[in-house]
Amino acid sequence: MRRKTFWKFVGPSIFLMVLFIALPLCGVFWQSFFLSVPVVEAVEVETCTPGFPSQVCTTVTKSQAVLDEFGRPVENTTFVGLELYRSVVNPEAVREAFASRNPGAILRVDFWRALRFTLTFTFVTLPFVLGLGLAIALAVNNSTQRLRGPVIFVSLLPYIITPVIGGISIYWLFVGDGIVTQLIEGLLDRNVSVMTRGWAVEALMMFYRVWHIAPFAFVIFYAGLQGVNRDTVESAMIDGASRFERLRYVIVPHLMPLIVFVTLIHLMDSYRVFEEIVAFNAQSQRISLQWLTYDFLQPDDSGNRAIGRAAAASMLTMIGIVIIIFPVLRRAWRDHRA
Amino acid sequence: MIRKLTFGLTLSILAAGGAAADCAFENDVPIKVITSAFPAYKAIADNMQECGNVQVELDQEVRTKSAPALAADPALYHISSVHNGTIVPLLNEGTIRPLDELVAEFGQDLNPNQLIRIDGKIMAIAFMVNMQHLMYRKDIFDELGIEVPQNYDEVLAAAEKIEQAGVVDYPLGATWMADWNIGIDFNNLFVGYGGTFVNDDNTPAVDSEAGRKTLEMMKKLAAYMDPEYLVADATYVQQQFQLKKIAFSNFWASRAAKMDDPNESEVVGLVATAAAPAAEPGGIPAAMYSWDGFAIAKNISDEEAEAAFRVALEGGDAEMVEENNDLAIWLIDGFEPTEMADGAIATIENGAKPTPSTIWRGLINDAIEKNVVEFMTGKKTADETLADIEAAYTTSAKEAGLL
């Protein structure tokens, strides 16, 4: 392709990526070093509210935002360096936890609790997604032509469902006297409350993610399997290679670039785990880094939100993603050059 | 053919006119409204829409949506539902308008009790009060000879008795979902034990004797509840009542009518209400009450504001109350308290306090919610919980300019 044609095709995409991804990212990065504090004054306010039989009026000293001449709250924005990162990560609590030889105590800090769950979630689901995806792909590849269509359709179903909807339907199977809970109760002959066990909720969320994403891995691997060299497989068979040996030495090496690709996508996706927390109502038991950012952004009852800390938390999430995908990216780069 | 068509059109126009006939005036200014989504607001919304050109969104998340929507210029909604808590950001950012002139011109039928005055100016119109109070299965209480509990020691005793009798799955219900729901219940008990959330200089005061007693009581109460209480919101508890799974609960007044709804409930006529129990014998009820009503956006034209105000009044007029008397504890003239309203009125008469409308309330509630959840799941001790509440509040209060 000529250079000019190349830029004509790629240019608009790069422009949009800069506009909608790179610039906002820089904005968030910038924001994470600044704190906007509204100016508040203490005033005596008389408030009259309904009562029985008649109104109650109380006068209290209240803190109230100062408004400028346009009726907007006055804010002081100051550069605070890493202060917001510090209040998210809470290094004092970490130091204290290690000094008192009780490292588990850092899980009292939301960030570390979220990081613990996010990492477990990411790395536990990864092998299952790869393994299950490959297994389905091999099964479909070896099934007869007539069955293939329906099998592919059924295996793709979980991937088609909107994540939150799929999550909620599994949640309903287990919450309260859900169908599955009743089954378990019948088997064990005692009352079971799945949602009161942190580990059970965590396991359910992981199960859901594997169930949801495995079809994606399956489609990619299945496409890859179509390109396996028949001659190599046949000569391996003549050499007396068992089924497993053919898989280990012929098929997997052939699929390796695709395995790296699926790993990369899955690491990035699952490090941003969020829908599961919402769908499984899991915030009392488990939170993720993305949930933490969302929670900072959510205004509380009086309309306050911690935008600075949300910016810091989302930068930390991004740094985390870069760290975990770095080894995979390096591998992909080496393969590419080789 | 053409004649037939014209006839049909005329008919449909007449029909549309008929629907609007219940409204005292013909509204020709397009009005957009956002309100909470419980049954009382649904009734008000239906009545407002009769005036024509009114578009209402019933939304569970008004508390997070109304502040940014009204801060836009022009505001995205003309009318927003507000209560003690949600009015704070609107006042703080100056996005709602004083209603004194409109009340003088159009508000002859308003009960003085409905006018929410802040610093002498009418900033909102209240339509109803809402709170949690005792709802109990009178058949079970009568059968087992249990007196209506007056304080939380008696609540525990009653729960124990019902547990022994084994008449329901779980004696107690509570809206302890791991969000603002459980925060409110902590607050109710905390106030009942005489606690203050924040000192005059905005420093936290939760780490106190009252805080410890509250957490201790919550642990004791949890033993009598469905173990999955951290996913129990108001609808969950309502269904527990309706399906005969629980015997009593300190529960939202706005849901009382649902107990007697023959379409969903198996306990029609079996649930009675009483004042919220005191935390300690002789104390004030462990419940705070709030009002619910409407405010009008500032960033709209005066003409729109006038139309919006008239539409809002039309939504909450005596006619609406007459049709929906049981849906809420209305403040509007014409409300006739039923037996189901006894609990709410008794709670206020026994000295319950209104929920404070301040900036710190949201901050401290946020800190309370999260840490109380971790206390209930056993991740933190009572001392750690209270210390962490204060630490979390201090961090966010500094960012909000309070400290």
Secondary structure, 3-state, A269-319: HHHCCCHHHHHCCHHHCCCCHHHHHHHHHCCCCCCCCCHHHHHHHHHHHHH
B193 in a structural domain? yes
pLDDT at A70 over 90: no
CATH of the domain at B367: 3.40.190.10
> What is residue A82's three-state secondary structure?
coil
Looking at residue A290, its pLDDT comes to 95
Residues of B in contact with A65 (CB under 8 A): 92-93, 359, 401
Say whether B118 and A46 touch across the interface (CB within 8 A): yes
Residues of B in contact with A303 (CB under 8 A): 67, 88-90, 92-93, 362
Length of chain B: 403
For B148, half-sphere exposure in the C-beta direction (CA atoms, 13 angstrom radius) is: 17
Whether the Cβ atoms of residue B290 and residue B83 lie closer than 8 Å to each other: yes
Helix (H) or strand (E) holding B137, with range, is: strand B132-137
CA atoms of B195 and B92, how far apart (whole Å):
26
B160 in a structural domain? yes
Is this prediction's ipTM beyond 0.90? Answer: no
Closest by Cα among A98, A302, A62 to B183 = A302
pLDDT at A160 over 50: yes
B294 shares a domain with B155: no
CB pairs under 8 A between A and B: 164
Residues of A in contact with B378 (CB under 8 A): none
> What is residue A251's three-state secondary structure?
helix
How many of the other CB atoms lie within 10 Å of CB of A149? Answer: 10
Can you read off the two tokens belonging to residue B397?
């209060």
Lowest mean pLDDT of B10-24, B97-111, B170-184, B362-376, name the range: B10-24
B276 shares a domain with B171: yes
CA atoms of B401 and B341, how far apart (whole Å):
41
> What is residue A119's three-state secondary structure?
helix
- Alpha-carbon distance A72 to nearest alpha carbon in chain B (angstroms): 6
Q: Is A40 on the interface with B (CB under 8 A)?
A: yes
How many of the other CB atoms lie within 10 Å of CB of B352? Answer: 26
- The residues, any chain, with a CB within 8 Å of residue A152's CB and separated by 6 or more, are A140, A222
Longest dimension (CA), chain A: 96
Say whether A64 and B92 touch across the interface (CB within 8 A): yes
pLDDT at B51 over 60: yes
Say whether B377 and A198 touch across the interface (CB within 8 A): yes
CA atoms of A294 and A307, how far apart (whole Å):
10
Nearest CB among B94, B230, B380 relative to A71 is that of B94
DSSP secondary structure code for residue B113 in this structure: G
Q: How does residue B265 score in pLDDT terms, banded at 50, 70 and 90?
A: very high
pLDDT at A38 over 90: no
B236 shares a domain with B151: yes
A21 shares a domain with A136: no
pLDDT in tens, B319-361: 999 999 988 999 999 999 888 889 999 999 898 988 888 889 8
Nearest CB among A40, A50, A303 relative to B402 is that of A40
A107 shares a domain with A2: no
Planar angle of CA A144, A146, A150, nearest 5 degrees: 105
Can you read off the two tokens belonging to residue B308?
């919006």
B319 shares a domain with B201: no
Say whether B358 and A38 touch across the interface (CB within 8 A): no
Sign of CA dihedral B304, B307, B310, B313: negative
Can you read off the two tokens belonging to residue A263?
């790993």
Q: How does residue A200 score in pLDDT terms, banded at 50, 70 and 90?
A: very high
- Alpha-carbon distance A22 to nearest alpha carbon in chain B (angstroms): 26
For B89, half-sphere exposure in the C-beta direction (CA atoms, 13 angstrom radius) is: 24
> What is residue A101's three-state secondary structure?
coil
Looking at residue B63, its pLDDT comes to 82
Say whether A37 and B126 touch across the interface (CB within 8 A): no
Total number of domains in chain A: 2
Q: Residue B376: what residue type?
A: M
A272 shares a domain with A132: yes
Say whether A49 and B396 touch across the interface (CB within 8 A): no
| Residue pointed to by tokens 């000094």 | A99
Q: Which of A43, A304, A305, A307 to substitute to test the interface with B, most B CBs within 10 Å?
A: A304
Question: Which stretches within B193-259 are classed as H helix?
Answer: 209-222, 234-242, 256-259
B96 shares a domain with B143: no
Say whether B399 and A299 touch across the interface (CB within 8 A): no
A137 in a structural domain? yes
pLDDT at B20 over 70: no
Helix (H) or strand (E) holding B136, with range, is: strand B132-137
Length of chain A: 338
| Averaged pLDDT score across all residues of chain A | 90
How many of the other CB atoms lie within 10 Å of CB of A154? Answer: 11
B308 shares a domain with B267: no
B3 in a structural domain? no
- The residues, any chain, with a CB within 8 Å of residue A161's CB and separated by 6 or more, are A212
- Alpha-carbon distance B369 to nearest alpha carbon in chain A (angstroms): 10
B192 in a structural domain? yes
Q: Residue B375: what residue type?
A: F
DSSP secondary structure code for residue B100 in this structure: H
B6 in a structural domain? no
Looking at residue B143, its pLDDT comes to 95
B302 shares a domain with B268: no
CA atoms of B374 and A287, how far apart (whole Å):
12
B337 shares a domain with B371: no
B326 shares a domain with B215: no
B64 shares a domain with B33: yes
Looking at residue A85, its pLDDT comes to 95
A278 shares a domain with A129: yes
CATH of the domain at A302: 1.10.3720.10
Say whether A176 and B228 touch across the interface (CB within 8 A): yes
A125 shares a domain with A9: no
Helix (H) or strand (E) holding A219, with range, is: helix A198-225
Say whether A283 and B178 touch across the interface (CB within 8 A): yes
B55 in a structural domain? yes
Closest by Cα among B300, B356, B329 to B126 = B329
Whether the Cβ atoms of residue A268 and residue A289 lie closer than 8 Å to each other: no
CA atoms of A61 and B147, how far apart (whole Å):
41
Say whether B401 and A301 touch across the interface (CB within 8 A): no
B169 shares a domain with B199: yes
| Residue pointed to by tokens 């990216």 | A329
Concatenate the DSSP letters of all residues of A15-52 into one string: HHHIIIIIHHHHHHHHHTTEEEEE-EEEEEEEEEE--S
Whether the Cβ atoms of residue A263 and residue A328 lie closer than 8 Å to each other: yes
Can you read off the two tokens belonging to residue B155?
């609540």
A275 in a structural domain? yes
Task: Note which residues in 42-71 of chain A have CB less than 8 A from chain B.
Answer: 45-52, 54-57, 60-65, 67, 71
CA atoms of B365 and B187, how far apart (whole Å):
8
B353 in a structural domain? no
- The residues, any chain, with a CB within 8 Å of residue A337's CB and separated by 6 or more, are none
- Alpha-carbon distance A214 to nearest alpha carbon in chain B (angstroms): 29
Question: Mean pLDDT across the stretch A228-236?
Answer: 88
Total number of domains in chain B: 2
Give Cα separations from A168 to A85, A161, A179, A210 (angstroms).
33, 11, 14, 15
What whole-number percentage of chain A has pLDDT above 70? 99
Q: What share of chain A is helix, strand, coil (3-state, %, to 5)?
A: 70, 10, 20
Looking at residue B208, its pLDDT comes to 96
Backbone angles phi, psi at B125, to 5 degrees: -115, 120
Alpha-carbon Rg for chain A, nearest whole angstrom, is 27
A137 shares a domain with A18: no
Give Cα separations from A287 to A86, A291, B366 (angstroms).
19, 6, 15
CA atoms of B171 and B160, how far apart (whole Å):
8
B264 shares a domain with B149: yes
pLDDT in tens, B302-324: 999 999 999 999 999 999 999 99
Residues of A in contact with B116 (CB under 8 A): 47-50
pLDDT in tens, A95-142: 998 998 888 888 889 999 999 999 999 999 999 999 999 999 999 988
Can you read off the two tokens belonging to residue B257?
């009518």
Lowest mean pLDDT of A13-27, A151-165, B126-140, B382-396, name the range: A151-165
Task: Note which residues in 267-286 of chain A have CB less than 8 A from chain B.
Answer: 281, 283-285
Whether the Cβ atoms of residue A17 and residue B315 lie closer than 8 Å to each other: no
Say whether B86 and A301 touch across the interface (CB within 8 A): yes
Looking at residue B12, its pLDDT comes to 41
Say whether B359 and A52 touch across the interface (CB within 8 A): no
Question: Mean pLDDT across the stretch B371-382?
Answer: 93
A60 in a structural domain? no
A166 shares a domain with A24: no
Range A234-269 burial, b when 16+ CB lie within 10 A, else e: eebeeeebeeeebeeebbeebbeebbebbbbbbbeb
A13 in a structural domain? yes
> ω into residue B262 within 30 of 0, thus cis?
no
CA atoms of B399 and B403, how far apart (whole Å):
8
Confidence (pTM): 0.84
Say whether A40 and B401 touch across the interface (CB within 8 A): yes
B173 in a structural domain? yes
How many of the other CB atoms lie within 10 Å of CB of B340? Answer: 18
A305 in a structural domain? yes
Task: Note which residues in 130-189 of chain B have CB less than 8 A from chain A.
Answer: 177-180
Range of the domain at B120: 22-130+290-341
Range of the domain at A199: 103-337
Residue of B nearest to A175 (CA): B228
Say whether B358 and A46 touch across the interface (CB within 8 A): no
